[in-house]
Copies of this chain bind each other. A is one copy, B any other.
Amino acid sequence: MTIAQVAERTGLTAHTLRYYERTGLLLEPPPRGGNGHRRYTDRDADWIRLLSRLRGTGMSIAGLRRYADLARRGEDTYAARKELLLAHRAEVVAKIEQLQDDLAHVDYKIEIYDKLMGER
């Protein structure tokens, strides 16, 4: 699998994929074909999709790196990795609740405009 294909499958750009690799988010640098191009496996793509989702939920690059570092250390770190995800999960849940709360205030403000305009 080429970098362009991984880009397509993960929603990240090739630039970003190289950046993630540089900054230590991959379990290991993908091996190169004879032409020097990166060759990704499906497992690589799955890992990157997970990274992308964690980013999407607001985990920082530093957080991703901590997770990747644990993953690289093998099965001894299952518990630690689970803890990391659970802690992050809690943050996401809190963020969703905050969003819903803020949204309610926005809705309230929208209603006010309705009333000011006489429900036109």
Contacts and interface: CB of A to CB of B under 8 A. Distances in A.
B78 A107 contact: no
A57 B92 contact: no
A62 interface: no
A82 B110 contact: yes
B117 A56 contact: no
Contacts of A86: 110
Interface string A61-79: 0000000000000010011
A interface, over-half SS: helix
Interface residues of A, number: 33
A105 B50 contact: yes
B117 A103 contact: no
A18 interface: no
Q: Which 3 A-B pairs have the closest CB atoms?
A: A82-B113, A53-B102, A57-B102
10 contacts: A53-B106, A75-B116, A78-B113, A81-B113, A82-B110, A82-B113, A85-B106, A88-B106, A89-B106, A92-B103
